[in-house]
Structure 1
Amino acid sequence: MQKAGLLLRGWTRAWKSVRMASSGLTRQNPLANKVALVTASTDGIGLAIARRLAEDGAHVVISSRKQQNVDRAVATLQGEGLSVTGVVCHVGKAEDREKLVNMALKLHQGIDILVSNAAVNPFFGNLMDVTEEVWNKVLSINVTASAMMIKAVVPAMEKRGGGSVVIVSSVAGFVLFPVSTCHSYLLSTLHHPPLQLSKEVF
Protein backbone atom coordinates (compact mmCIF):
# COMPACT_ATOMS: atom_id res chain seq x y z
CA MET A 1 0.00 0.00 0.00
CA GLN A 2 1.34 3.42 -0.89
CA LYS A 3 1.89 5.41 2.27
CA ALA A 4 0.93 9.04 2.57
CA GLY A 5 3.80 11.48 2.80
CA LEU A 6 2.67 13.78 5.59
CA LEU A 7 4.64 16.93 6.28
CA LEU A 8 3.79 17.67 9.87
CA ARG A 9 5.82 20.74 10.74
CA GLY A 10 3.78 23.40 9.00
CA TRP A 11 5.81 23.59 5.77
CA THR A 12 3.13 21.96 3.71
CA ARG A 13 1.46 22.39 0.40
CA ALA A 14 -1.42 23.94 2.28
CA TRP A 15 0.75 27.01 2.93
CA LYS A 16 2.64 27.12 -0.34
CA SER A 17 0.41 29.86 -1.71
CA VAL A 18 0.94 31.95 1.42
CA ARG A 19 4.70 31.81 0.96
CA MET A 20 4.33 32.59 -2.72
CA ALA A 21 2.16 35.60 -1.93
CA SER A 22 4.65 36.93 0.62
CA SER A 23 7.43 36.73 -1.96
CA GLY A 24 5.38 38.54 -4.57
CA LEU A 25 4.59 35.41 -6.57
CA THR A 26 1.05 34.24 -7.26
CA ARG A 27 -0.57 31.26 -8.92
CA GLN A 28 -4.29 30.93 -9.46
CA ASN A 29 -5.98 28.21 -7.41
CA PRO A 30 -2.86 26.33 -6.20
CA LEU A 31 -5.10 24.03 -4.14
CA ALA A 32 -7.69 23.36 -6.85
CA ASN A 33 -9.65 20.15 -6.21
CA LYS A 34 -7.90 19.54 -2.89
CA VAL A 35 -10.08 18.72 0.11
CA ALA A 36 -9.26 20.27 3.48
CA LEU A 37 -10.62 19.65 6.98
CA VAL A 38 -10.12 22.40 9.56
CA THR A 39 -11.13 21.84 13.17
CA ALA A 40 -12.35 24.70 15.38
CA SER A 41 -12.73 26.85 12.28
CA THR A 42 -15.78 29.08 12.66
CA ASP A 43 -13.91 32.10 14.00
CA GLY A 44 -10.44 33.44 14.73
CA ILE A 45 -7.38 31.66 13.38
CA GLY A 46 -9.36 28.62 12.25
CA LEU A 47 -11.77 30.67 10.16
CA ALA A 48 -8.91 32.63 8.60
CA ILE A 49 -7.16 29.37 7.67
CA ALA A 50 -10.35 27.92 6.21
CA ARG A 51 -10.97 31.06 4.18
CA ARG A 52 -7.45 31.09 2.74
CA LEU A 53 -7.53 27.42 1.81
CA ALA A 54 -10.86 27.95 0.03
CA GLU A 55 -9.61 31.10 -1.70
CA ASP A 56 -6.76 29.01 -3.05
CA GLY A 57 -9.19 26.54 -4.59
CA ALA A 58 -9.68 23.86 -1.92
CA HIS A 59 -13.02 22.38 -0.94
CA VAL A 60 -13.05 23.07 2.80
CA VAL A 61 -15.02 21.35 5.55
CA ILE A 62 -15.14 23.50 8.67
CA SER A 63 -16.30 22.51 12.14
CA SER A 64 -17.27 23.78 15.56
CA ARG A 65 -18.97 22.44 18.66
CA LYS A 66 -22.05 24.63 18.06
CA GLN A 67 -24.43 24.37 15.10
CA GLN A 68 -25.14 28.10 15.03
CA ASN A 69 -21.44 28.86 14.71
CA VAL A 70 -21.10 26.39 11.85
CA ASP A 71 -24.14 27.82 10.07
CA ARG A 72 -22.90 31.39 10.41
CA ALA A 73 -19.39 30.66 9.18
CA VAL A 74 -20.59 28.53 6.25
CA ALA A 75 -23.03 31.26 5.19
CA THR A 76 -20.28 33.88 5.37
CA LEU A 77 -17.75 31.90 3.35
CA GLN A 78 -20.25 30.64 0.80
CA GLY A 79 -21.39 34.25 0.44
CA GLU A 80 -17.83 35.02 -0.65
CA GLY A 81 -18.16 32.42 -3.40
CA LEU A 82 -16.05 29.81 -1.63
CA SER A 83 -16.52 26.03 -1.62
CA VAL A 84 -17.19 25.45 2.07
CA THR A 85 -19.40 23.08 4.04
CA GLY A 86 -19.56 22.52 7.76
CA VAL A 87 -20.44 20.05 10.47
CA VAL A 88 -20.74 20.10 14.25
CA CYS A 89 -17.68 18.40 15.72
CA HIS A 90 -16.39 18.20 19.28
CA VAL A 91 -12.91 16.82 18.63
CA GLY A 92 -12.86 15.22 22.06
CA LYS A 93 -15.61 12.84 20.94
CA ALA A 94 -14.70 9.93 18.68
CA GLU A 95 -18.13 9.86 17.06
CA ASP A 96 -17.86 13.53 16.11
CA ARG A 97 -14.40 13.08 14.60
CA GLU A 98 -15.76 10.18 12.56
CA LYS A 99 -18.69 12.30 11.40
CA LEU A 100 -16.35 15.09 10.25
CA VAL A 101 -14.18 12.72 8.23
CA ASN A 102 -17.16 10.90 6.76
CA MET A 103 -18.75 14.16 5.60
CA ALA A 104 -15.62 15.08 3.67
CA LEU A 105 -15.47 11.64 2.08
CA LYS A 106 -19.16 11.67 1.20
CA LEU A 107 -19.07 15.14 -0.36
CA HIS A 108 -15.63 15.11 -1.98
CA GLN A 109 -14.50 11.45 -2.12
CA GLY A 110 -11.18 12.16 -0.44
CA ILE A 111 -9.08 14.20 1.97
CA ASP A 112 -5.81 15.99 1.18
CA ILE A 113 -5.28 18.44 4.03
CA LEU A 114 -5.94 18.38 7.77
CA VAL A 115 -5.52 21.46 9.95
CA SER A 116 -5.84 20.52 13.61
CA ASN A 117 -6.67 23.83 15.27
CA ALA A 118 -8.87 22.91 18.24
CA ALA A 119 -7.45 23.66 21.68
CA VAL A 120 -8.56 24.64 25.17
CA ASN A 121 -6.88 26.42 28.06
CA PRO A 122 -9.32 26.38 30.99
CA PHE A 123 -6.79 26.88 33.79
CA PHE A 124 -4.22 29.52 34.67
CA GLY A 125 -1.90 28.61 37.51
CA ASN A 126 1.00 26.40 38.45
CA LEU A 127 1.23 22.63 38.21
CA MET A 128 0.66 22.12 41.93
CA ASP A 129 -2.78 23.69 41.68
CA VAL A 130 -4.16 22.01 38.57
CA THR A 131 -6.76 19.28 39.08
CA GLU A 132 -6.64 15.94 37.32
CA GLU A 133 -9.97 16.74 35.67
CA VAL A 134 -8.60 19.91 34.09
CA TRP A 135 -5.35 18.18 33.11
CA ASN A 136 -7.24 15.40 31.35
CA LYS A 137 -9.47 17.88 29.52
CA VAL A 138 -6.49 19.77 28.12
CA LEU A 139 -4.75 16.50 27.23
CA SER A 140 -7.86 15.18 25.47
CA ILE A 141 -8.49 18.24 23.29
CA ASN A 142 -5.01 19.63 22.72
CA VAL A 143 -3.05 16.41 22.27
CA THR A 144 -5.13 13.24 21.96
CA ALA A 145 -7.67 14.71 19.53
CA SER A 146 -4.93 15.83 17.14
CA ALA A 147 -3.41 12.35 17.09
CA MET A 148 -6.79 10.71 16.56
CA MET A 149 -7.69 13.12 13.75
CA ILE A 150 -4.44 12.27 11.99
CA LYS A 151 -5.16 8.57 12.43
CA ALA A 152 -8.64 9.08 10.97
CA VAL A 153 -7.54 10.91 7.81
CA VAL A 154 -4.39 8.98 6.85
CA PRO A 155 -6.25 6.12 5.08
CA ALA A 156 -8.05 8.65 2.86
CA MET A 157 -4.79 10.48 2.16
CA GLU A 158 -3.08 7.22 1.21
CA LYS A 159 -5.71 6.62 -1.46
CA ARG A 160 -4.88 10.01 -3.00
CA GLY A 161 -1.14 9.44 -2.93
CA GLY A 162 -0.29 11.73 -0.03
CA GLY A 163 -1.47 14.64 2.05
CA SER A 164 -0.57 17.45 4.39
CA VAL A 165 -1.18 17.84 8.11
CA VAL A 166 -0.79 21.06 10.09
CA ILE A 167 -1.07 21.11 13.88
CA VAL A 168 -1.67 24.61 15.22
CA SER A 169 0.32 25.09 18.41
CA SER A 170 1.52 28.11 20.37
CA VAL A 171 4.65 29.82 21.59
CA ALA A 172 3.57 28.49 24.98
CA GLY A 173 4.86 25.11 23.86
CA PHE A 174 8.39 26.51 23.55
CA VAL A 175 8.57 29.24 26.20
CA LEU A 176 7.96 28.82 29.93
CA PHE A 177 4.78 30.47 31.18
CA PRO A 178 4.60 30.03 34.98
CA VAL A 179 0.89 30.87 35.16
CA SER A 180 -0.01 28.47 32.35
CA THR A 181 1.93 25.34 33.26
CA CYS A 182 -0.71 22.79 32.26
CA HIS A 183 -1.30 24.39 28.86
CA SER A 184 2.42 24.88 28.14
CA TYR A 185 3.43 21.43 29.37
CA LEU A 186 0.95 19.63 27.15
CA LEU A 187 1.48 21.86 24.11
CA SER A 188 5.16 20.94 24.20
CA THR A 189 4.18 17.32 23.58
CA LEU A 190 2.80 18.27 20.15
CA HIS A 191 6.20 19.07 18.70
CA HIS A 192 8.08 15.76 18.69
CA PRO A 193 5.26 13.27 17.96
CA PRO A 194 4.49 14.79 14.53
CA LEU A 195 8.08 14.14 13.49
CA GLN A 196 7.73 10.55 14.60
CA LEU A 197 4.41 10.20 12.81
CA SER A 198 5.91 11.54 9.59
CA LYS A 199 8.31 8.59 9.63
CA GLU A 200 5.64 6.04 10.45
CA VAL A 201 3.30 6.98 7.62
CA PHE A 202 5.82 7.05 4.78
Structure 2
Amino acid sequence: MKNKTVIITGGASGIGKAAAELFAEAGANVVISDIDSIQGDEVIREIRSGGGIASFFKTDVAKPEQMEALVQYALDTYGKLDIAVNNAGIGGEQNTITDMSLEGWQKIISVNLSSVFYGMKYQIAAMLKSGGGSVVNISSILGAVGFAGSAGYSAAKHGIIGLTQTAALEYSAQNIRINAVGPGFIDTPLLNAMDAAMKNQLIAMHPIGRLGKSREVAELIFWLGSEKSSFVTGSYYPIDGGYLSK
Protein backbone atom coordinates (compact mmCIF):
# COMPACT_ATOMS: atom_id res chain seq x y z
CA MET A 1 0.00 0.00 0.00
CA LYS A 2 2.98 2.35 0.17
CA ASN A 3 2.41 5.43 -2.02
CA LYS A 4 -1.21 4.38 -2.66
CA THR A 5 -3.86 7.02 -1.98
CA VAL A 6 -7.16 5.99 -0.40
CA ILE A 7 -10.38 7.95 0.13
CA ILE A 8 -12.71 6.67 2.86
CA THR A 9 -16.07 8.36 3.35
CA GLY A 10 -17.64 8.13 6.79
CA GLY A 11 -14.15 7.58 8.14
CA ALA A 12 -14.59 9.25 11.51
CA SER A 13 -16.07 6.23 13.27
CA GLY A 14 -17.09 2.60 13.02
CA ILE A 15 -16.16 0.62 9.92
CA GLY A 16 -14.74 3.66 8.15
CA LYS A 17 -12.38 4.46 11.01
CA ALA A 18 -11.22 0.85 11.25
CA ALA A 19 -10.55 0.79 7.49
CA ALA A 20 -8.65 4.07 7.66
CA GLU A 21 -6.44 2.72 10.44
CA LEU A 22 -5.75 -0.50 8.54
CA PHE A 23 -4.81 1.24 5.29
CA ALA A 24 -2.61 3.69 7.19
CA GLU A 25 -0.85 0.85 9.02
CA ALA A 26 -0.03 -0.65 5.62
CA GLY A 27 1.58 2.61 4.44
CA ALA A 28 -1.18 4.19 2.35
CA ASN A 29 -1.93 7.91 2.14
CA VAL A 30 -5.39 8.05 3.70
CA VAL A 31 -7.97 10.79 3.07
CA ILE A 32 -10.79 10.54 5.58
CA SER A 33 -14.02 12.35 4.91
CA ASP A 34 -16.96 12.75 7.26
CA ILE A 35 -19.56 15.28 8.25
CA ASP A 36 -18.17 15.16 11.81
CA SER A 37 -14.99 17.21 11.64
CA ILE A 38 -14.25 16.97 15.37
CA GLN A 39 -14.17 13.19 15.39
CA GLY A 40 -12.52 13.16 11.97
CA ASP A 41 -9.64 15.31 13.21
CA GLU A 42 -9.23 13.01 16.21
CA VAL A 43 -8.87 9.97 13.93
CA ILE A 44 -6.25 11.83 11.90
CA ARG A 45 -4.30 12.63 15.07
CA GLU A 46 -4.40 8.99 16.14
CA ILE A 47 -3.16 7.78 12.75
CA ARG A 48 -0.36 10.35 12.59
CA SER A 49 0.72 9.60 16.15
CA GLY A 50 1.22 6.01 15.03
CA GLY A 51 3.40 7.07 12.10
CA GLY A 52 0.69 6.93 9.44
CA ILE A 53 -0.09 9.44 6.70
CA ALA A 54 -3.62 10.85 6.80
CA SER A 55 -5.66 13.96 6.07
CA PHE A 56 -9.25 14.98 6.79
CA PHE A 57 -11.69 16.66 4.43
CA LYS A 58 -15.15 17.53 5.73
CA THR A 59 -17.78 16.25 3.29
CA ASP A 60 -21.55 15.97 3.10
CA VAL A 61 -21.74 12.94 0.81
CA ALA A 62 -25.29 13.80 -0.25
CA LYS A 63 -23.97 16.85 -2.12
CA PRO A 64 -22.28 16.04 -5.44
CA GLU A 65 -20.15 19.18 -5.49
CA GLN A 66 -18.63 18.20 -2.13
CA MET A 67 -17.86 14.69 -3.37
CA GLU A 68 -16.14 16.21 -6.39
CA ALA A 69 -14.18 18.51 -4.10
CA LEU A 70 -13.14 15.54 -1.95
CA VAL A 71 -11.61 13.76 -4.93
CA GLN A 72 -9.86 16.94 -6.04
CA TYR A 73 -8.46 17.37 -2.53
CA ALA A 74 -6.97 13.86 -2.66
CA LEU A 75 -5.41 14.61 -6.05
CA ASP A 76 -4.05 17.97 -4.92
CA THR A 77 -2.64 16.52 -1.70
CA TYR A 78 -1.21 13.20 -2.85
CA GLY A 79 -1.12 13.41 -6.64
CA LYS A 80 -3.44 10.54 -7.54
CA LEU A 81 -6.28 8.32 -6.35
CA ASP A 82 -5.84 4.55 -6.19
CA ILE A 83 -8.59 3.27 -3.88
CA ALA A 84 -11.97 4.62 -2.80
CA VAL A 85 -14.17 3.25 -0.03
CA ASN A 86 -17.72 4.59 -0.18
CA ASN A 87 -18.74 3.83 3.37
CA ALA A 88 -20.72 6.82 4.67
CA GLY A 89 -24.32 6.10 5.57
CA ILE A 90 -27.15 6.55 8.06
CA GLY A 91 -29.74 4.25 9.57
CA GLY A 92 -32.45 6.73 8.69
CA GLU A 93 -36.12 6.78 9.53
CA GLN A 94 -37.55 3.51 10.83
CA ASN A 95 -41.14 3.18 9.70
CA THR A 96 -43.55 1.18 7.60
CA ILE A 97 -43.86 2.30 4.01
CA THR A 98 -47.25 3.98 4.44
CA ASP A 99 -46.07 5.86 7.53
CA MET A 100 -42.60 6.81 6.29
CA SER A 101 -42.24 10.53 5.67
CA LEU A 102 -41.25 11.70 2.21
CA GLU A 103 -38.42 13.66 3.78
CA GLY A 104 -37.16 10.56 5.58
CA TRP A 105 -37.18 8.55 2.37
CA GLN A 106 -35.41 11.24 0.37
CA LYS A 107 -32.72 11.74 3.02
CA ILE A 108 -31.76 8.10 3.29
CA ILE A 109 -31.67 7.63 -0.49
CA SER A 110 -29.52 10.75 -0.83
CA VAL A 111 -27.04 9.82 1.91
CA ASN A 112 -26.88 6.06 1.38
CA LEU A 113 -27.36 5.60 -2.37
CA SER A 114 -26.94 8.81 -4.37
CA SER A 115 -23.69 9.47 -2.51
CA VAL A 116 -22.21 6.24 -3.90
CA PHE A 117 -23.10 7.32 -7.44
CA TYR A 118 -21.57 10.77 -6.82
CA GLY A 119 -18.48 9.17 -5.34
CA MET A 120 -17.91 6.77 -8.22
CA LYS A 121 -18.59 9.45 -10.81
CA TYR A 122 -15.60 11.49 -9.65
CA GLN A 123 -13.44 8.71 -8.19
CA ILE A 124 -13.48 6.61 -11.36
CA ALA A 125 -12.74 9.64 -13.53
CA ALA A 126 -9.61 10.29 -11.43
CA MET A 127 -8.56 6.64 -11.53
CA LEU A 128 -8.88 6.50 -15.30
CA LYS A 129 -6.27 9.27 -15.55
CA SER A 130 -3.76 7.35 -13.46
CA GLY A 131 -4.22 3.92 -15.04
CA GLY A 132 -6.60 2.13 -12.70
CA GLY A 133 -7.77 1.56 -9.17
CA SER A 134 -10.21 -0.15 -6.87
CA VAL A 135 -13.58 1.02 -5.53
CA VAL A 136 -15.21 -0.68 -2.54
CA ASN A 137 -18.83 0.24 -1.88
CA ILE A 138 -20.31 -0.58 1.51
CA SER A 139 -23.75 -2.11 1.13
CA SER A 140 -25.27 -4.36 3.81
CA ILE A 141 -26.91 -7.70 4.36
CA LEU A 142 -30.04 -5.63 3.75
CA GLY A 143 -28.78 -5.20 0.20
CA ALA A 144 -29.79 -8.83 -0.32
CA VAL A 145 -32.95 -9.17 1.81
CA GLY A 146 -35.65 -6.95 3.25
CA PHE A 147 -36.10 -5.83 6.84
CA ALA A 148 -39.48 -4.64 8.15
CA GLY A 149 -39.44 -0.97 9.07
CA SER A 150 -36.34 -0.21 6.98
CA ALA A 151 -37.69 0.32 3.47
CA GLY A 152 -35.40 3.25 2.68
CA TYR A 153 -32.27 1.61 4.08
CA SER A 154 -32.91 -1.70 2.35
CA ALA A 155 -33.76 -0.05 -0.98
CA ALA A 156 -30.59 2.05 -0.84
CA LYS A 157 -28.38 -0.89 0.02
CA HIS A 158 -29.93 -3.01 -2.75
CA GLY A 159 -29.25 -0.11 -5.09
CA ILE A 160 -25.58 -0.01 -4.14
CA ILE A 161 -25.16 -3.58 -5.35
CA GLY A 162 -26.76 -2.73 -8.69
CA LEU A 163 -24.54 0.33 -9.06
CA THR A 164 -21.48 -1.73 -8.19
CA GLN A 165 -22.22 -4.44 -10.75
CA THR A 166 -22.98 -1.89 -13.47
CA ALA A 167 -19.80 0.09 -12.78
CA ALA A 168 -17.76 -3.11 -12.87
CA LEU A 169 -19.16 -3.94 -16.31
CA GLU A 170 -18.32 -0.47 -17.55
CA TYR A 171 -14.79 -0.04 -16.17
CA SER A 172 -13.16 -3.37 -15.27
CA ALA A 173 -11.56 -3.62 -18.71
CA GLN A 174 -9.87 -0.30 -17.94
CA ASN A 175 -8.16 -1.69 -14.84
CA ILE A 176 -10.69 -0.37 -12.35
CA ARG A 177 -12.24 -2.97 -10.09
CA ILE A 178 -15.51 -2.22 -8.28
CA ASN A 179 -16.90 -4.44 -5.53
CA ALA A 180 -19.42 -4.27 -2.71
CA VAL A 181 -19.26 -5.43 0.90
CA GLY A 182 -22.37 -6.45 2.84
CA PRO A 183 -21.81 -6.25 6.59
CA GLY A 184 -24.23 -7.84 9.00
CA PHE A 185 -25.07 -5.89 12.13
CA ILE A 186 -21.74 -4.50 13.32
CA ASP A 187 -21.13 -3.13 16.80
CA THR A 188 -20.63 0.49 15.75
CA PRO A 189 -21.97 3.86 16.97
CA LEU A 190 -24.87 3.38 14.52
CA LEU A 191 -26.33 0.91 17.05
CA ASN A 192 -25.81 3.10 20.12
CA ALA A 193 -29.45 4.19 20.17
CA MET A 194 -30.62 0.61 20.74
CA ASP A 195 -31.35 -0.73 24.21
CA ALA A 196 -29.90 -4.01 25.47
CA ALA A 197 -33.02 -6.02 24.62
CA MET A 198 -32.99 -4.86 21.00
CA LYS A 199 -29.27 -5.56 20.68
CA ASN A 200 -29.82 -9.08 21.99
CA GLN A 201 -32.50 -9.59 19.35
CA LEU A 202 -30.03 -8.57 16.67
CA ILE A 203 -27.37 -10.90 18.07
CA ALA A 204 -29.86 -13.79 17.91
CA MET A 205 -30.27 -13.21 14.17
CA HIS A 206 -26.60 -14.09 13.58
CA PRO A 207 -25.81 -17.82 13.77
CA ILE A 208 -22.27 -16.99 14.92
CA GLY A 209 -23.81 -15.70 18.16
CA ARG A 210 -22.48 -12.13 18.24
CA LEU A 211 -22.36 -8.87 16.38
CA GLY A 212 -19.50 -8.20 14.00
CA LYS A 213 -16.53 -5.95 14.75
CA SER A 214 -15.47 -3.01 12.61
CA ARG A 215 -11.94 -4.36 12.20
CA GLU A 216 -13.30 -7.62 10.77
CA VAL A 217 -15.12 -5.70 8.03
CA ALA A 218 -12.08 -3.49 7.48
CA GLU A 219 -9.96 -6.57 6.73
CA LEU A 220 -12.30 -7.49 3.86
CA ILE A 221 -12.34 -3.91 2.56
CA PHE A 222 -8.54 -3.85 2.68
CA TRP A 223 -8.29 -7.11 0.72
CA LEU A 224 -10.65 -5.81 -1.98
CA GLY A 225 -8.65 -2.60 -2.23
CA SER A 226 -5.37 -4.46 -2.56
CA GLU A 227 -3.79 -6.28 -5.48
CA LYS A 228 -4.41 -9.57 -3.68
CA SER A 229 -7.96 -9.39 -5.07
CA SER A 230 -6.77 -8.56 -8.60
CA PHE A 231 -9.26 -10.92 -10.33
CA VAL A 232 -12.24 -9.82 -8.23
CA THR A 233 -14.70 -7.31 -9.68
CA GLY A 234 -18.46 -6.86 -9.78
CA SER A 235 -18.84 -8.99 -6.66
CA TYR A 236 -20.89 -8.64 -3.49
CA TYR A 237 -19.29 -10.02 -0.34
CA PRO A 238 -21.51 -10.51 2.72
CA ILE A 239 -19.65 -10.50 6.03
CA ASP A 240 -22.47 -11.36 8.34
CA GLY A 241 -21.82 -14.14 10.85
CA GLY A 242 -24.15 -16.41 8.87
CA TYR A 243 -27.16 -14.03 8.79
CA LEU A 244 -27.97 -14.65 5.11
CA SER A 245 -27.54 -18.43 5.44
CA LYS A 246 -30.82 -18.80 7.35
Q: Distance in 2 between matches of 1:157 and 1:195?
A: 18
- Structure-1-length-normalised TM-score: 0.81
Q: Aligned partners of 1:50, 1:57: CA distance in 2, in Å?
A: 11
For residues 146 and 194 of structure 1, the distance between their equivalents in structure 2, rounded to whole angstroms, comes to 9
TM-superposed deviation, 1:98: 2.2
CA shift at 1:86, angstroms? Answer: 0.7
Q: Does 1:81 align with 2:51?
A: yes
Instruction: Answer 1 or 2: higher relative contact order, Cα 8 Å, separation at least 6.
Output: 1
Structure 2 equivalent of residue 179 of structure 1: 149
Give the counterpart of 2:77 among 84, 94, 107: 107
Q: Give the structure 1 partner of residue 137 of structure 2.
A: 167
Paired residue total: 172
- Please give the per-residue CA displacement for 1:79-120, whole angstroms capped at 9, x wherever unaligned: 111111111111112232122111111111100000000111
What's the CA shift string for 1:130-177, capped at 9, x where partnerless?
A: 111111111111111101111101122112211000011111222221
Of the structure 1 ranges 173-182 and 58-67, higher mean CA displacement relative to structure 2 is found in 173-182
User: What is the distance in 2 between the residues matched to 1:98 and 1:54?
Assistant: 23
Q: For 1:150-161, list aligned pairs within 5 A.
A: 150-161=120-131
Could you tell me whether the CA contact under 8 Å between 1:64 and 1:90 is conserved in 2? Answer: yes
2:10 counterpart residue number: 40
SS of equivalent to 1:189: helix
How far apart, CA to CA, are the structure 2 residues paired with 1:54 and 1:65? Answer: 21
**Distance in 2 between the 1:190 and 1:94 partners?**
16
Aligned-pair Cα RMSD in Å: 1.2
TM-score of the two chains, using structure 2 as the length reference: 0.67
Equivalent AA in structure 2 for residue 179 of structure 1? G
What is aligned with 1:19? none
Seq. identity, %: 32
Segments of 5+ residues of structure 2 without an aligned counterpart are: 174-246
2:78 maps to 1:128: no
SS class of match (1:84): strand
CA offsets per residue over residues 22-66 of structure 1, 9 Å max, x none?
Answer: xxxxxxxxx111100000101111000011111112100001112
- Which residue matches 1:10? none
- The Cα shift of 1:192 comes to 1.8
